Amino acid sequence: MTARYTIGIDLGGTNIKGGVCDRRQTLLTRHAIETQAELGCEHVLERMARLVDDLLQQTNLSKAQIAGIGVGAPGPLSHAQGMIYHAPNLPGFVAVPLRDRFAKATGLPVVLENDANAAAYGEFTAGAGKDVRNMVMLTLGTGIGGGIVLDGKLWRGRYDNAGEIGHTVIVPDGRACPCGQRGCLERYASANAIAERLREAVAAGENSVLKPKITANEPFDARDVLQAAEQGDALAARIWDETCYYLALSVVNVRHLLNPELVVFAGGLINAGPRLLDPVKEHLERLSWKIAPDAPRIALATLGTDAGTIGAAALAMS
């Protein structure tokens, strides 16, 4: 029987998402279960294998019809070795040879990939980038991840760590980052950073409609900052505009370093739609050189939370 399908697994700290794709990267079915990461590595691997069985049952497919499984996982990790070096949100996932162990558990070939790379490849094969050959994606969530596709192939770099755009330095000797550097893009333009920067400004004496929340130590996030900005809050508007400026600055650097056709924004922040995209484009126009017509197009991701699943499945097929 010809193996015409692949399975994509998106391994997260809270949920494990999975799906079955055909050769055209059409998602035939999807399913998600809780990771239960606190119960350890062995338990999570068992749940991943159970998810594969659930997906096969949903599609009425046998393992003989599955060409392989792609797993998108948090890192850092090694694609070449199939090894997760250390996943902070997955207790016990330190030096775990996940590719080989999962292959043994399922009886199917397995490809291990960084979760941001898998999502980028999903958008490239079936989403916003399906009509280009060179694409860079920035995932704008609690942190900032990234993925690079050059000439139709995922670019991993010598040590499998290419695409860490969130840890490019945009402010020399700037805000401290948990990665050990200072001034990383993630510390200025991620959803967490937006809220944190506003909180710090209020603590330093600036005023905002969000001050009562901050004083009461109530939670708020980037959505609240954007809403406050739209209501005329000067501090929130400045923080949001600075965020768009930093993102535009990162696109300028990507433009000159890789010269892609397309830069895709993904993640929770893109729910802002044109309120994010328009000011980024305005800053980009102001910041960019005018001596060559080589500006990339900027677009929002289209696959949503399915990107990692579809990308992992596509990598298993390729």
My answer on whether 29 and 62 are in the same domain is: yes
My answer on whether 112 and 171 are in the same domain is: no
My answer on whether 50 and 111 are in the same domain is: yes
Sign of CA dihedral 81, 83, 85, 87: positive
* pLDDT value at residue 89: 82
* pLDDT value at residue 3: 82
How far apart CA 111 and CA 243 sit, in angstroms, is 35
My answer on whether 210 and 311 are in the same domain is: no
How far apart CA 188 and CA 115 sit, in angstroms, is 22
My answer on whether 147 and 284 are in the same domain is: yes
Q: Residue 60 in 3-state DSSP?
A: coil
Instruction: Specify the pairing of strand 15-21 against strand 5-11.
Output: antiparallel
Instruction: Specify the pairing of strand 5-11 against strand 66-73.
Output: parallel
My answer on whether 81 and 219 are in the same domain is: no
My answer on whether 294 and 206 are in the same domain is: yes
My answer on whether 16 and 47 are in the same domain is: yes
DSSP per residue, 179-244: TS-BSBTHHHHSHHHHHHHHHHHHHTT---TTHHHHHTT----HHHHHHHHHTT-HHHHHHHHHHH
How far apart CA 44 and CA 38 sit, in angstroms, is 9
Total of domains in the chain: 2
pLDDT digits (tens), the chain, 318 positions: 578 999 999 999 899 999 999 999 999 999 999 999 999 999 999 999 999 999 999 999 999 999 999 999 988 899 999 999 988 889 999 999 999 999 999 999 999 999 999 999 999 999 999 999 999 999 999 889 999 999 999 999 998 889 999 999 999 999 999 889 999 999 999 999 999 999 999 999 999 999 999 999 999 999 999 999 999 999 999 999 999 999 999 999 999 999 999 999 999 999 999 999 999 999 999 999 999 999 999 999 999 999 999 999 999 998
Burial class (CB in 10 A: 0-12, 13-18, 19+), 135: buried
Q: Dig out the tokens for 51 from the structure.
A: 């998810």
| CATH code at position 219 | 3.30.420.40
Residue 238 makes CB contacts below 8 A (sequence gap 6+) with none
My answer on whether 87 and 145 are in the same domain is: no
My answer on whether 281 and 183 are in the same domain is: yes
Main-chain dihedrals φ then ψ at residue 137, nearest 5 degrees = -120, 135
* pLDDT value at residue 316: 96
281: enclosing H helix or E strand: helix 274-287
My answer on whether 312 and 261 are in the same domain is: no
Task: State the pTM of this model.
Answer: 0.92
* pLDDT value at residue 142: 87
Domain span including residue 263:
132-302
My answer on whether 26 and 138 are in the same domain is: no
* pLDDT value at residue 1: 52
